[in-house]
Amino acid sequence: MNDTKQIAELLSLPKEVCIISHRNPDGDAIGSSLALAGLLRKQNHTVHIIMPSEYPDVFGFLKGIDDVLIYDLEPEEAKSRIERSNVIMCLDFNSLERIDKVGRIVKDTDSTIVMIDHHIDPEPFYTHGISITEVSSTAELIYNYIKETSTEHLIDLEIGEAIMTGILTDTGSFRHNTNKNTYYAAGDLKARGVDDYYLQDKIFNSMTEKQLRLLGHCLNNRMELLPEYRTGIISLSLQDYEDFDIIRGDTEGIVNYMLMVKQVDVAIFVRQQAKIIKFSFRSKGDISVQALARDHFNGGGHKNASGGYMYGSVGKAVRKIKEHLPDYVPVYNQK
Ligand code: 5GP
Ligand code: MN
């Protein structure tokens, strides 16, 4: 679905716009939001960006990020900004559950709701939407929106870096989810002065010593391989969280390392949080972790990258994974 025309029409006169992205925002949530905010401000809209929870420190270098309002830190201010807006733009998520309590506020407003997203199975909470699962990232969708509305001349370095950040992070530096337009977009942004080397260095070479040691701990002490299902599982307990003083962002990307093992096609990262057990799922090729996450773990996302949650213990979570895995890993893969 691509309501670009209707959205451009809606935004043809200056509006009060709130851009909202999902909890635990990643590079694409942040990059697409900053890029759209930059564009809309140049078109004389008043724009606020709201995220339910804090963003990882690694993205602190992006210009404009200081203006992002975090609902967890300033709930009243965030609520009043959403209620005052005429247009709410929901970026990089497709179900209100992904924005926690902010979802209720969005539901209760009379504002026009626009969704721009690339995940599978959107819920119909919006007035106009761009929902395309074949693109690399929501940032690429923002790039396409700019192209389709002939507003390329408004792309400045800030917007360009924000889009490139979303593309780089959601494709794992062009390793997955790319299509030919992803490369055109990246090439065009580079031609416009975006320094991809600088961005990659800022984003991917910025681990703390603690994060690298935590990665070592996960791989050495917390990883279980299930060769019969070509699957790897890493699970972290609350004790691990205490021992390593793990905070938001520290576990980002750990799940992907398991896919480096030749015999692994499915990688699952399980961690105990205060109230829930949270899952990250990754897969290669035809195996759909989206189906597994959707059917059994209250989640979803993309075919090869999904998330979810459940209530219970880490042990119960791992047992549940082992119970359902056989239904999602095709027999031809069990070699
Ligand atoms: P990650 O494992 O990096 O947190 O998330 C991978 C993908 O799954 C992302 O596209 C993210 O939007 C999606 N995802 C993560 N957690 C959830 C969840 O609880 N519910 C749904 N529907 N999607 C999720
Ligand atoms: Mn995304």
Measured from the CA of 269, which atom of ligand 1 is nearest?
2
Q: Which residues contact 209 (CB under 8 A, 6 or more apart)?
A: none
Q: Is there an atom of ligand 1 within 6 Å of 272 CB?
A: no
Fold (CATH) for 4-204: inorganic pyrophosphatase (n-terminal core) (3.90.1640)
* Nearest ligand atom owner, CA of 29: 2
The amino acid at residue 39 is: L
Give pLDDT tens digits for 258-278.
999 999 999 999 999 989 999
State the pairing for strand pair 87-91/16-21. Answer: parallel
pLDDT band at 5 (very low <50, low <70, confident <90, very high): very high
Q: What pLDDT was estimated at residue 331?
A: 63
β-sheet bridge partners, residue 226: 231
Which residue's C-alpha comes closest to atom 11 of ligand 1?
Answer: 301
Q: What is the mean pLDDT of residues 33-54?
A: 98
Helix, strand or coil for residue 88? strand
**Choice from 96, 98, 121 to test ligand 1 binding pocket (greatest atom count within 8 A of CB):** 98
Rounded-to-integer distance, Cα 226 and Cα 126, Å? 41
- Residue 257 backbone dihedrals phi, psi, to 5 degrees: -60, -30
Q: Does residue 292 carry a pLDDT above 60?
A: yes
Cβ 267 under 6 angstroms from ligand 1? no
Q: Is 31 in the pocket of ligand 1 (CB under 6 A)?
A: no
Which of 91-105, 220-234, 297-311, 321-335 bottoms out in mean pLDDT, i.e. has the lowest?
321-335
Which residue has its alpha carbon closest to ligand 1 atom 24? 307
Contact 230, 334 (CB under 8 A): yes
**Atom 6 (ligand 1) nearest CA:** 306
Nearest ligand atom owner, CA of 292: 1
- The pLDDT of residue 334 is above 60: no
308, containing H or E segment: strand 305-310
* CB of 317 closer than 8 Å to CB of 279: yes
Mean residue pLDDT across the chain = 96
Taking residues 244-249, report their average pLDDT: 90
Strands 305-310, 277-283: pairing is antiparallel
The two beta strands, 300-301 and 128-131, are unpaired
Query: pLDDT tens, 162-177?
Result: 999 999 999 999 999 9
Ligand (nearest to CA of 278): 1
In ligand 1, which atom is closest to the CA atom of 255? 2
Q: How far apart are CA 200 and CA 113, in angstroms?
A: 33
CA of 307 to the centre of ligand 1 (A): 4
Q: Can you give the pLDDT at residue 253?
A: 92
Q: CA 192, CA 90: separation in Å to the nearest integer?
A: 27
DSSP 156: -
Question: Quick one: average pLDDT of 107-136?
Answer: 97
Whether residue 236 contacts residue 270, with contact meaning beta carbons closer than 8 Å, is answered with yes
Residue 248, pLDDT score? 83
Class of domain 209-327: alpha beta
pTM (predicted TM-score): 0.93
Give pLDDT, residue 332. 53
> Is 306 near ligand 1, meaning CB less than 6 Å away?
yes
Q: In whole angstroms, give the CA distance from residue 317 to residue 279.
A: 9
Share of the chain above pLDDT 90, in %: 97
209-327 has the same fold as 4-204? no
Q: How many CB atoms lie within 10 A of CB 288?
A: 18
Regarding the beta carbon of 302 and ligand 1, being less than 6 Å apart is answered yes
Residue 335: pLDDT over 50: no
CA of 115 to the centre of ligand 2 (A): 13
**What spacing in Å lies between the alpha carbon of 157 and ligand 1's midpoint?**
29
Average pLDDT value for residue range 285-304 = 96
Confidence at 82, pLDDT banded by 50, 70, 90: very high
56 CB under 6 A from ligand 1? no
Residue from 22, 297, 306, 309 whose mutation best tests the ligand 1 pocket (most atoms within 8 A of CB): 306
DSSP string spanning 40-66?
HHHTT-EEEEEESSPPPGGGGGSTTGG
Query: With bands split at pLDDT 50, 70 and 90, how would you rate the model's confidence at 330?
Result: confident
CA of 265 to the centre of ligand 1 (A): 18
- Ligand 1 pocket residue status of 307, Cβ below 6 Å: yes
Please give the Cα distance from 295 to 269 (Å, whole number).
Answer: 17
Q: pLDDT tens, 138-167? A: 999 999 999 999 999 999 999 999 999 999
**What are the structural domain ranges in the chain?**
4-204, 209-327
**Ligand number nearest to the C-alpha of 56:** 1
Q: What Rg, from alpha-carbon coordinates, does the chain have?
A: 20
Question: To 5 degrees, how large is the angle CA 70–CA 73–CA 78?
Answer: 55
